[in-house]
Structure 1
Amino acid sequence: MLYFNHTKHKKDGRLQNYDFFNRLTKKEKESNMGLFDLFRAGGSINEGVERFKNTQGAILIDVRTKEEFAAGNIPHSLNVPLNRIETIKYSKESPLFVYCQSGGRSAQACSWLKKQGYQVENLGGIASYSGPIRRK
């Protein structure tokens, strides 16, 4: 899992590592909103899936691992794990809608895809998705 951490000096001069994720309460960790949804513009993943459905020629990409994808994914999505994102060969005219578990991997994928000239939207994390789930 990708998370924030930083180092802070204690009063006695020693360094202390603060791990943002581990400082969250159990309730915050288990909430339906993915951590990275806080940093994503464009509304919820549910709204994003609706935009995908209403966009002609759009492609929905899940950048989670094949095991995560098989455990449950959004219908009509294609699995391209983040570590294989460079293998994408879609037309740059086709809008890409990208999601993952919490929004971190999809943000990384979108950053790379935009640099390659793709039209791309980060939908964030499936953890906050409330629509139908397909299992493979």
Structure 2
Amino acid sequence: MSIFKKKLTVNEAINKAHTSQNALLIDCRIKEEYSHGHVAGAINIPLEKMTADRVLRRIPDKEKELYIIGSYSYKPQNAVRTLKKMGYKRAVFGGYMEEHYGVLKK
């Protein structure tokens, strides 16, 4: 068993979020980037607006699996750290939209 955990690709995270009963896909990019194209079913919570109040209103269940996707500019790993500090222990890095292949919603 390896001591290093393999990071998910954005497409793996999208698949896991869409096939799991208790999971959400969170896009931490700014609203403008999100509106230019996002994954169907992704919730937009911009990294710079990720406050405990705002997140708790949108995601009251802290036991949900949260797959966090972002971009090279709006790093998902920073959002994962922020969410874990808020008590969302199942927040996971979900990859970068620049590496996504597939259909996007506008």
Q: TM-score, normalised by structure 1?
A: 0.65
Show structure 1 runs of 4+ deviating over 4 A: none
State the SS of the aligned residue for 1:59.
Answer: strand
Quick check: which has more Rg, 1 or 2? 1
Amino acid in the other structure paired with 1:77: A
- Residues 1-136 of structure 1: pairs in structure 2 closer than 5 A: 41-86=6-51, 87-89=54-56, 90=59, 91-102=61-72, 105-118=75-88, 119-135=90-106
1:88 partner SS: helix
Looking at structure 1, the residues matched to 74 and 30 of structure 2 have their Cα atoms a distance apart, in angstroms, of 13
Distance in 2 (CA, whole Å) between partners of 1:105 and 1:44 is 14
Percent sequence identity is 27
Contact 2:47 2:74 in 1 (8 A): no
Provide the TM-score with structure 2 as the length reference: 0.82
CA RMSD of aligned residues (A): 1.7
Count of aligned pairs: 96
* Higher RCO, Cα 8 Å, sep 6+: 2
Q: Which runs of 5+ in 2 are unaligned?
A: none
